[in-house]
A and B are shown apart, each in its own frame.
Chain A
Amino acid sequence: MKLRRNNNFLIEPASAATGDIAFNLIVFFLVCASTQPDSGRKQILPRSENQQQKQTEQIQNLEVSLDRNSVSINTEKIPLTDFPSRIKRKLQGKAKPEDRIVVVKSTKDVPYHHWIAITGAIEDGGGIITLQLEEERSIQVP
């Protein structure tokens, strides 16, 4: 009589390390996700509290008005391509920081990418940006 050898061993992979593997994988992906470098541009704006005090001085500063697609310096309309060179020329020779203040006025529909392009050109030309915002006022109608 032949005796059969029992070869049907249950082969189970070692599961003790699964937790560690999962942990390491997730830490790896988390680190990858959190190290996305941000790139951008710093912008120095005077604190809005001080703006009211300087309002009288601002009258003589350069004023840049922004529309949806156009730009003007002191009410003179300027082609967008000429703006960087024109603002640079206007700011040339102004050594004092208070003389280099440029008041930026925007209409409500100015898109952010247009605003960034113009304010970037002002800063590259040596200007210091100040925003002039329209104040909301509530009026009671009798």
Chain B
Amino acid sequence: MKIPRKKFQATVPSVAMGDIAFNLLIFFVILARAQDDSHIKWEPASTPKVEQVKSIGVSVVVDIDSKLYLNGQEIGESQLSAAIEKLLGNAPAGKRSVLLKVHRNTTALRFEPVIEAVSQAGGDLVHILEEKSLQPKK
């Protein structure tokens, strides 16, 4: 008489799947955040009239401590023009927008060379500003 062997059911434990997926996603979120500029501290200047602008590839930020960033990465003033030119490549006119986010109290000594660098790279300058509120900021 043959005694049939007991069959074991092999299943993949799915309890840890949630944690694995969560950790993977956190990893990719942090990786993505390092490439944008949402972690940089700056306050926009205000103006009475603003228009909505599409955020395209290149953004330049001068933060509260007058540090310069290109697409979220700190960069030197002397390298800025070449780096923007490289990012813009052969993009046609109208698609060469460079978003310029300058902290409202930054002085001309810091922001004018940045504007010059964008202009030198052939970028279309877009100042990111906020609409003027009734109570002026001090």
Contact = CB atoms under 8 A, between A and B. Distances in A.
Nearest to B130: A39
B51 interface: yes
Given A21-B18, A40-B53, 8 more contacts: A41-B47, A41-B126, A42-B126, A47-B122, A107-B108, A116-B45, A120-B48, A131-B112
**Quick one: which of A22, A37, A66 has the most chain B CB within 10 A?**
A22
B21 A117 contact: no
A108 B108 CA distance: 5
B111 interface: yes
B1 interface: no
24 contacts: A16-B17, A19-B22, A26-B29, A30-B29, A30-B32, A38-B55, A40-B129, A41-B47, A42-B51, A42-B124, A42-B126, A45-B115, A47-B119, A48-B119, A109-B108, A112-B102, A112-B105, A113-B45, A113-B46, A115-B111, A116-B129, A117-B45, A120-B47, A131-B115
A108 B55 contact: no
A122 to B, nearest CB: 13
Interface residues of B, number: 50
Nearest to B118: A45
A48 B26 CA distance: 43
Interface of B: 14-15, 17-18, 20-22, 25-26, 29, 32, 36, 38, 45-55, 97, 99, 102-109, 111-113, 115-116, 119-120, 122, 124-131
Interface residues of A, number: 41
A69 B53 CA distance: 30
Interface of A: 15-16, 18-23, 26, 30, 33-34, 37-49, 66, 106-113, 115-117, 120, 124, 131, 133
